[in-house]
Amino acid sequence: MILMKQFDTFITPLTITDIPLILANIPKDSTNYYDCIPYAIGANTYGVFQGFKYYDGEVLILFNTKYQKYWKVYKAYGPNDQIICDRLWDWWAYYKSKTEKDLALNNLTESQYKILLSRAKKEGIKISKTSCEEDVFDIRGIKDLKGGTWAKLRMMINVFKRQELNHTVEHISESNLEESRNLLKYWVKQMKDNGAIQLNYRQYEYVLLYHSFQGSDTCSYVHKIDGKPKAIVLMNKISDNCFAQTSSFADRDVKGISEYSIYHAFAEASERGIDYAASGLRMVSTWNFKNKYNPVQPSPVWYKIGLPGEVVKDSLPFFE
């Protein structure tokens, strides 16, 4: 157990310089979208949140402040689930003595979830709990689009190709950065107009976009018609066998370009020996669109619990 008074000494701001530390802790076989390093840092630091990390040499906890009714642990890593859960529980015991806000523990594995539920029940702590499905796609064989698995996607790819458009594809780079930036800004505006109030362009500009330049850890492209940007797909490495589709946007007036742009990135990843692509939470509104890309069934699940805070006068110094 870490002594309560020592917790503050292990907490520091989360920044781009923490990439090697996070990378060293991600499971090599992960297919969890939220293990994508640029997204983990971008979602926690370069948006509406302030990101922090707790690292005591054994357990790494990524968390952020939030302007609503709770703060969130984004992800926790350690040598095994029991140690991770013990540290999360100890950390919460310290945390709740300093704040009135609840603490949400996100991205828990099933094992971690069960350990924490058992402890809460044993100690008579009332908690909230939920589970979230993820979209993870099996992209093996996607390049050739053969067989019934890819029938719906193949149909839309053919729709795009039959238009015989003046279509070009470019890796994300300094030369098309401004065009790519404008596409993402427009996408973020659309998302915010539809209620995604927590979405902030800065996390895409400063982290995702700038970490999507051509390289072994990316499969990111901007698609152009007659020289004008019409679609963008950002894919960043999660693990040795999985990439994350961190962002995508397409002009729906160009038939089939949404499907083709994602297909192009997935096919490139598959050619490099990557078997899976993760796209975040399963969203009902987009499921018919994503279903074309061979989702893994049953879909992977991560778990979330909420632990109660207490009404106190003092606040945590590192949150100010």
Mean pLDDT of 102-129: 94
Query: Among candidates 70, 51, 69, which has minimal Cα distance to 61?
Result: 51
Query: Among candidates 272, 208, 268, 280, which has minimal Cα distance to 241?
Result: 272
Cα–Cα distance for residue pair 245/237, rounded to 1 Å: 9
Say whether pLDDT at 103 is over 70. Answer: yes
Mean pLDDT of 292-306: 92
Mean pLDDT of 229-245: 94
Domains of the chain as residue ranges with CATH: 4-134+301-319 (3.40.630.30), 135-293 (3.40.630.30)
pLDDT band at 1; cut points 50, 70, 90: very low
Say whether pLDDT at 170 is over 90. Answer: yes
Start-to-end CA span in the chain (Å): 26
Query: Among candidates 312, 246, 254, 260, which has minimal Cα distance to 289?
Result: 260
Mean pLDDT of 220-227: 96
> What's the confidence (pLDDT) of residue 44?
73
% of the chain exceeding 70 in pLDDT = 88
Mean pLDDT of 255-281: 94
Residue 305 β-bridge partners: 105, 129
> What's the confidence (pLDDT) of residue 320?
46
pLDDT band at 70; cut points 50, 70, 90: low
Mean pLDDT of 306-311: 80
Say whether pLDDT at 131 is over 70. Answer: yes
Q: Which two tokens stand for residue 35?
A: 């293990």
Q: Which two tokens stand for residue 118?
A: 């058992």
What's the mean per-residue pLDDT of the chain? 86
Query: Among candidates 148, 135, 152, which has minimal Cα distance to 263?
Result: 152
Measured CA angle at 191 (ends 189, 193), to 5 deg: 70
Per-residue CA distances from 68 to 65, 104, 198 (Å): 9, 12, 10
Query: Among candidates 275, 284, 279, which has minimal Cα distance to 248?
Result: 279
